[in-house]
């Protein structure tokens, strides 16, 4: 569907119909409904129970004139000619309302194609007479004034029902008055909601208009059918109907659903001619089949049209009963007019009103015959409404949050014994956004200098929102404005203080406005968000303004493109930079005062870029080249270096200025190639055995002296330190030949220094205990232990399995335990403890 809008004040109306390719008919189904040969293609009639409705209508078929305000009607169509009355061409008064588009003919056939004439299809309402009113051009568009004129003509010339398969997004005081004119003359207006998956269009959105959405063959709301608080009822979306030139075609859209409801209204009014327009509207709503939750909901209204029930079930003056309790509260739209009653002074009526946003719910209650009704909200507020009072004094407004608000109505006179009828009207005003009052440029709300997303509203008529942003840096900016409702036609204005403004207004109703990427300089900027003039507001909906600001960052280290311009990098300090061209390189210099492990850390690299780092010594001899991984935002490397001066050259595969990389250089003093034994109590022993090749670290310049040593590690160190050469085949269940320490363990087992456990395991990766460590070292010196003397440690008794070894090792001065006299034999031995004892053993 296209949305057209003149530059001037007139808003065009579009037909609410989609293309013909969306519906695939089921031509195999056959129903003996009438003699009309194409009835088999009208499967939608079975969904709304037309056969049963015709049976229920009986002979009481008072003729009802249904005005089709549209593109006209094919006045010579053989399936329509018998059911047409005089109409009017509002575009060319001298001509008849002949259809030059086809849409109006589609609508008319659904309502009143002649039944049982052995031609084509069957219309839903045999008692309906079509009044064709041409108000739309051949392309399906037209002016608001002609729409209003068409409705008024229908009212003034005897139509009881007016079907409007058209719509526009803006509210109009003029159309609202025309709609009220029809209501005042007891004429029912039926309108399509629209097909854009957004807010209900006008005139369907006016509270006295019966608004119709569309469901698919699965009886679920079509995803394109508009919805919201003004939606009343659903009817089938896909139809087969009359077409121009005396033909027939498949068609779909909410504009095909609306005439089905209009036809149903004609059948009801034909059987019950004394009903009012409100009662016909209410009867169709209260007999609809629930599609989602019980009662009304924003996606499917009161449910699917059921013409059989509309013709057979008695009319309920108060269709919401029972609703005496909060748990029985009847769901109401937040924009509707309903009639109900309180049966006595003790009767309570509860309603649940669902607000799609934070804001304010307005409730108007008008009781009859001089009585009063108390209105209570779940917020604790209450008001009294008295009959005969002006509507303005009967309007109660309460602040609500998004979700359900409960309203209770009760008689002011609790002793009343008679019925009290009342009319209840609800409306909603969206919240005021937190940026108000910003309707003038000098009142602009100040935004921070960064990319951001904000949500705002047009909560009042002619609301305009101004924002200001002070930029301290040059850069680029892109603006994106979107809405969640078709009732906003958004406009953007962008201006640097003192310069000419730029207006961005490209998309149609409910569209998205996106600016180009704009270069911005330091200074004050203004952004204005508004709705086009004809969509004055207030609007129930939100807009979203996205500001994408990318500053052009300044590299404070420049110029550093040559080694002799290198920026000095102090240890552990941070340095930031960018690459403003593809040829740009950044040099940094750092100094080591001793043999150290230099650690270079680069972070905040754009993931779309690759960063290269080359390390040089003071003579500019390359020491290594490194690069960041694809998709990574960092590059980290470390290298052991002797005392001296070094350089780092950085270069990217492509320039970037939207974010700054960060460089940090750190250094750790190396002792025997380790960074973690400086100042450690076991430093000398670790250094000595490392230099002798008996022990090694973990390959990352770390010895981890305080880490527990495993049994495999201890056996390997002993094997190397004692230069063991003989070994035996091992049969431990948890030690495979492929284990990295298998050979050294085999040698220590052969030398009777190490053995396994009684269960046949060795537990190579198990942590070595202090007792096991002591035993291994004792065996390496051929000590077998002694039993004489008392236990040397307070936490080891005479029954302990290693008491003999402990006595001998303590007596000979190899072990001394802790200052408190304990030894903790089952505690885990550290790598430092093991190396220190081993150093003493090999040095003895």
Q: Which H or E run contains 615?
A: strand 611-617
For the chain, the straight-line distance linking the first and the last C-alpha, in angstroms and rounded, comes to 97
Least Cα distance to 721 among 572, 625, 839 occurs for 839
In the chain, the largest separation of any two C-alpha atoms, in whole Å, equals 134
**Topology of the domain comprising 441-551:** Jelly Rolls (2.60.120)
- The confidence score (pLDDT) of residue 113 equals 95
Q: Which residue has the tokens 């009220």?
A: 180
Q: Can you give the residue ranges of every domain in the chain? A: 12-312, 326-430, 441-551, 563-669, 683-842
CATH class for domain 326-430? Answer: mainly beta
CA atoms of 62 and 127, how far apart (whole Å)? 6
Is 94 a catalytic site residue?
Answer: no
Q: Does domain 12-312 have CATH number 3.40.50.200?
A: yes
Q: Which residue has the tokens 């047409």?
A: 84
Task: Report the DSSP beta bridge partners of residue 518.
Answer: 477
CATH number of 563-669: 2.60.120.380
Alpha-carbon distances, residue 778 vs 7, 754, 798, 814, 841 (angstroms): 101, 11, 19, 9, 9
Classify residue 134 as exposed, middle or buried by CB count within 10 Å of its CB (0-12, 13-18, 19+). buried
Write down the catalytic residue from 70, 79, 222, 238. 70
Is 36 a catalytic site residue?
Answer: no
Assign 380 to helix, strand or coil: coil
Write down the catalytic residue from 172, 229, 254, 255. 255
Q: What does the DSSP 8-state code read for residue 140?
A: S
- The confidence score (pLDDT) of residue 15 equals 52
CA atoms of 141 and 152, how far apart (whole Å)? 19
Total residue length of the chain: 844
- The confidence score (pLDDT) of residue 509 equals 63
Is 413 a catalytic site residue?
Answer: no
The conformational region for residue 206 under phi > 0 = left, psi -120 to 50 = alpha, else beta, is beta
Q: Which H or E run contains 397?
A: strand 395-400
Token digits of residue 260: 């089905």
Task: Report the DSSP beta bridge partners of residue 603.
Answer: 662
Whether 326-430 and 12-312 are alike in CATH topology: the answer is no
Q: The dihedral of CA 600, 606, 612, 617: what is its sign?
A: negative
Q: The dihedral of CA 666, 669, 672, 677: what is its sign?
A: negative
CA atoms of 57 and 362, how far apart (whole Å)? 40
Is the whole-model pTM more than 0.85? no
The answer to whether the beta carbons of residues 799 and 824 sit under 8 Å apart is no
| List of the chain residues with pLDDT < 50 | 1-12, 17-32
CA atoms of 264 and 44, how far apart (whole Å)? 13
């Amino acid at each position: 569907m296209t949305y057209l809008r003149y530059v001037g004040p007139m808003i065009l109306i579009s037909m609410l119909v989609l293309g013909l390719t969306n519906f695939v008919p089921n031509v195999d189904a056959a129903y003996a409904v009438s003699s009309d040969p194409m009835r088999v293609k009208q499967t939608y009639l079975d969904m709304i129970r037309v056969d049963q409705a015709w049976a229920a209508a009986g002979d009481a078929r008072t003729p009802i004139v249904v005005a089709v305000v549209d593109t006209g009607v094919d006045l010579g169509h053989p399936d329509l000619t018998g059911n047409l009355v005089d109409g009017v061409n509002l575009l060319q008064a001298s001509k008849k309302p002949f259809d030059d588009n086809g849409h109006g003919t589609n609508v008319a056939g659904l309502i009143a194609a002649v039944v049982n004439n052995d031609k084509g299809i069957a219309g839903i309402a045999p008692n309906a007479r079509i009044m064709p009113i041409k108000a739309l051009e051949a392309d399906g568009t037209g002016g608001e004034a002609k729409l209003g004129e068409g409705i008024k003509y229908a009212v003034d010339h005897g139509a009881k029902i007016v079907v409007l398969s058209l719509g526009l997004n803006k509210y109009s005081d003029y159309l609202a008055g025309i709609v009220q004119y029809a209501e005042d003359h007891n004429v029912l207006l039926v309108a399509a909601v629209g097909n854009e998956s957004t807010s209900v269009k006008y005139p369907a959105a006016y509270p006295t208009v019966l608004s119709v959405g569309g469901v698919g063959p699965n009886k679920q709301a079509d995803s394109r059918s508009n919805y919201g608080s003004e939606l009343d009822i659903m009817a089938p979306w896909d139809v087969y109907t009359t077409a121009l030139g005396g033909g027939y075609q498949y068609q779909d859209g909410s504009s095909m659903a609306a005439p089905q409801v209009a036809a149903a209204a004609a059948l009801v009014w034909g059987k019950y001619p004394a009903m009012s327009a409100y009662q016909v509207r209410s009867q169709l709503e209260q007999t609809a089949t629930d599609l989602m939750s019980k009662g009304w909901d924003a996606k499917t209204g009161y449910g699917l049209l059921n013409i059989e029930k509309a013709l057979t079930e008695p009319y309920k003056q108060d269709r919401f009963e029972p609703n005496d309790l909060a748990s029985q509260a009847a769901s109401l739209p937040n924009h509707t007019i309903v009639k109900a009653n309180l049966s006595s002074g003790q009767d309570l009526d509860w309603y649940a009103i669902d607000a799609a946003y934070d804001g304010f719910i307005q409730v108007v209650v008008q009781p009859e015959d001089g009585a009063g009704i108390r209105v209570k909200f779940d917020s604790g507020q209450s008001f009294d409404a008295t009959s005969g009072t002006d509507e303005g004094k009967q309007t109660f407004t309460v602040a609500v949050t998004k979700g359900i608000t409960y309203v209770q109505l009760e008689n002011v006179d609790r002793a009343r014994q008679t019925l009290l009828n009342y009319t209840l009207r609800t409306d909603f005003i969206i919240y005021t956004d937190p940026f108000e009052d910003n309707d003038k440029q000098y009142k602009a709300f100040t935004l921070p200098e960064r990319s951001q997303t904000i949500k705002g509203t047009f909560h009042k008529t002619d609301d305009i929102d101004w924002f200001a942003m002070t930029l301290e840096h040059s850069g680029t900016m892109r603006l994106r404005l979107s809405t969640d409702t078709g009732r906003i036609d958004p406009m953007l204005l962008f201006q640097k203080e003192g310069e000419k403004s730029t207006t961005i207004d490209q998309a149609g109703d409910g569209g998205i406005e996106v600016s180009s990427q704009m270069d911005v300089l330091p200074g004050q900027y203004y952004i204005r968000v508004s709705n086009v003039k004809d969509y004055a507001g207030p609007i129930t909906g939100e807009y979203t303004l996205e500001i994408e600001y990318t500053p052009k960052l300044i590299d404070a280290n420049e110029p550093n493109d040559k080694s002799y311009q290198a920026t000095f990098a102090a240890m552990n300090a941070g340095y930031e930079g960018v690459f403003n061209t593809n040829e740009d390189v950044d040099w940094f210099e750092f100094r080591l005062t001793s043999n150290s492990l230099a650690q270079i850390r680069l972070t905040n690299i754009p993931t779309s870029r690759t960063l290269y780092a080359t390390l040089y010594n003071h003579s500019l001899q390359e020491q290594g080249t490194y690069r960041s991984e694809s998709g990574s935002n960092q590059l980290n490397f470390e290298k052991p270096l002797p005392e001296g001066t070094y350089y780092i050259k950085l270069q990217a595969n492509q320039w970037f200025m939207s974010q700054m990389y960060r460089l940090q250089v750190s250094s750790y003093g190396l002792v025997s190639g380790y960074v973690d034994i400086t100042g450690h109590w076991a430093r000398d022993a670790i250094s000595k055995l490392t230099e002798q090749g008996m022990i090694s670290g973990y390959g990352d310049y770390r010895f981890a002296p305080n880490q527990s040593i495993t049994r495999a590690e201890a056996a390997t160190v002993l094997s190397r330190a004692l230069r063991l050469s003989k070994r035996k085949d091992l049969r431990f269940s948890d030690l495979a030949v492929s284990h990295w320490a298998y050979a050294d363990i085999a040698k220590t087992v052969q030398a009777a220094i190490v053995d396994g456990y009684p269960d046949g395991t060795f537990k190579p990766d198990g942590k070595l205990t202090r007792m096991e460590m002591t035993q291994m070292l004792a065996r390496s010196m051929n000590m077998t232990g002694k039993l004489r003397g008392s236990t040397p440690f307070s936490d080891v008794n005479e029954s302990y399995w290693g008491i003999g070894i402990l006595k001998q090792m303590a007596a000979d001065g190899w072990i001394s335990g802790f200052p408190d006299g304990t030894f903790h034999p089952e505690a885990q031995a550290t790598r430092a403890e093991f190396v220190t004892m081993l150093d003493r053993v090999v040095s003895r």
